[in-house]
Amino acid sequence: MSLIKQLWIGVLLIVLVAFGSSFVVSTLAAKRYLEQQLLLKNIDNATVLALSMSQMQKEPVAIELLLAAQFDAGHYQSITLAGPEGGVLAERQNQASIDAVPAWFMRMIPLRVAPGVAQVSDGWKQYGTLTVQSHPGFAYKSLWQETGWLLLACLLLAALSGALGAVILRVILRPLGRVVRQAEEMQMRRFITNPVPKTPELAALVRIMNHLSERVRAMLEDEAGRLEKLRREAHFDSLTGLLNREQLFSRIDATLSREDAAAAGTLVITRVLSLAAVNRTAGREAADALLVCLGNVLNGLIREHPDWHAGRLNGADLVLFAPGVNEVETLARQLHEAMKDAVAKMDTLKEVPLPTAATHYSSGETLSHVLSRVDVALLQAESSPYNPVQLCEETREHMPSDFQHWRVQIEQSLDAGRVMLAEFPVRDMSGGLLHVECPVRLQLEMNGAWLTAGQVIPWANKLGLTQKIDAVVVTHALDKLRRGSGDVGINLSARALIDDQFHVWLCERLKAAPALAPQLWLEFQEAHVVRHFPQFRKLSRALLDLGCKVGIEHAGHHVEHISALHDLGLHYVKVDGSIIRDIDSSLANQVFLRGICLIAHSIGMLALAEGVQSHAEAEMLTSLGVQGMTGPWVK
């Protein structure tokens, strides 16, 4: 039996004993009081009546009349006049029953009252002995009423005392409840801290548990810092801070193959044409300073747009990859002007040619195809000093390009129900199904092609329609669960993460389907979580309380923030496909991924892999501690 139940039982027993004892003592006191009053009445009435008889003529008729008058005037059970020899001279008896009081009550609490006795004289001689016994009916009635009121008062006081005791007990046990919750959270590897209570017995325990949580947090922060350092060394150019060639291509390739990424976007390459000349004439330091200056321009854009990627292909080529950006020429010219302005502020260098080429890409294209197009445009830019920004001729699907047309078609598809959820299995390393990942598809035109989220979401973001799409996705996922399809995973947008009204709507829908919530896997992109962490913390706690499984997808690019998840109790983290790609041949990524898995396991999260493409990758993932995977190879 738990301590809280024992305390409650103890409080109830104390209240029952206290008020039970008070009730018994008060009842017995009332009984004793009534018995005393009846005895005094018997004695007084016997004395007065005997005195009256002693002063009158001792005619039998007169005696009978006096007894009858006295008997009828008072509440008596019996009045008896006995002669000196014991014979009855006159007598009156009241045989009426007491109907107003239950018989069991009179048997349980009997009134035992001695009769009043007085001597009747006739001159100097004793005439007889008078015995008077009052009727106990009115006393029983009074005792019954008083006992009822006393019982009611005791019950009310017991209830009030119990309520007050409950409040006091709740206040006293509140620190204990927090300790129990902290222990339960630790059991699930959620290392939270609690304020130290004033109760000495609990304070020491809370301090120890808080110290353990702080040590775990410090350990995770140290490990996250080590992984971030490893990531910077393995994935970034040491001079400019941009992605290196291998990691840049991995991220672009992963984006081109993902469905939830922006299906169309812009790739821009800028070549520092005279870098070798700067190195010869101004020295290595000047050339490095030039690259750092240009790298700062790109890093500034990445800070403003976390979904973009920037990297250094080789000594002189700098790349900007901007998913969701369809204004190819605008972005290319803005980047070129920003770089020119940055170089102009460098006092040690004259004007540096910066030929720039840009191309539009679409989801499903290969990286080599996109690069081959932009290489042609870059050669044209190099040979055109008066037009250093060149755009390549790219093919793209015929889609509406104006905002109003997109708004009308998206809203019509949502209203008409032209929405479906695709299915991609997420399996554990032994092949068991964890859940089915269900990205959204929209059919903008009747009998038209089904578009992926990456093709629609960029426009929906600009039009403020993502929350409406998220609501439709949640509704379809719940309907899918009602049909008994097994666990379903869906991803929600950044707008859903920060919209309080959507939070309320989502929680209400899940409260209305409590049996389905544990089968729903909700995931958010790592970049969105990092950018809106307070809102994510609030929403994730609400969803976890409802029984949902909450996770982070496309993870691994902000590993320095992973330690902040130690007290949330998230269920899983999906490592981005750019880290998983060719993991069997990348030692740096193997070490990095093993560290992510170690942190995830230490705080109770499943470590899942995205974009698995081969059996060799799957085998390596198993050895690194990954517990589940999805991707083209997973069927």
Give residue limits of the domains in the chain: 3-160, 240-391, 403-629
Q: Which residue has the tokens 């130690």?
A: 566
Half-sphere CA count of 243, side-chain side, radius 13 A: 19
83 neighbors 71 (Cβ within 8 angstroms): no
Grouping H, G, I as helix, E, B as strand and the rest as coil, residue 398 is coil
pLDDT in tens, 270-314: 998 888 777 777 788 888 888 899 999 999 999 888 889 999 988
Q: For residue 34, give the DSSP letter.
A: H
Q: Which residues of the chain carry a pLDDT beneath 70? A: 1-4, 7-8, 187-190, 260-263, 348-350, 393-402
Considering the domain delimited by 3-160, tell me its CATH architecture: 2-Layer Sandwich (3.30)
pTM, to two decimals: 0.69
310 neighbors 296 (Cβ within 8 angstroms): no
Identify the H or E element spanning 391: strand 389-391
427 neighbors 433 (Cβ within 8 angstroms): yes
Q: Which residue has the tokens 């107003």?
A: 100
Cα radius of gyration rounded to whole Å, the chain: 46
* CATH code, residues 403-629: 3.20.20.450
Can you name the residues that pair with 573 across neighbouring β-strands?
552, 607
C-alpha span between 198 and 401 (Å, rounded): 65
C-alpha span between 603 and 185 (Å, rounded): 10
pLDDT value of residue 358: 92
- Taken in order 7, 8, 10, 15, the sign of the CA dihedral is positive
Residues sharing a CB contact under 8 Å with residue 499, sequence separation 6 or more, in sequence order? 467
Backbone region of residue 625 per phi and psi (left: phi > 0; alpha: psi in -120 to 50; beta: other values): left
pLDDT value of residue 479: 92
How buried is residue 548: exposed, middle or buried, by Cβ count under 10 Å (0-12/13-18/19+)?
A: buried
pLDDT in tens, 15-48: 778 777 877 888 888 888 888 888 888 888 888 8
Identify the H or E element spanning 191: none
Class of 240-391 in CATH: alpha beta
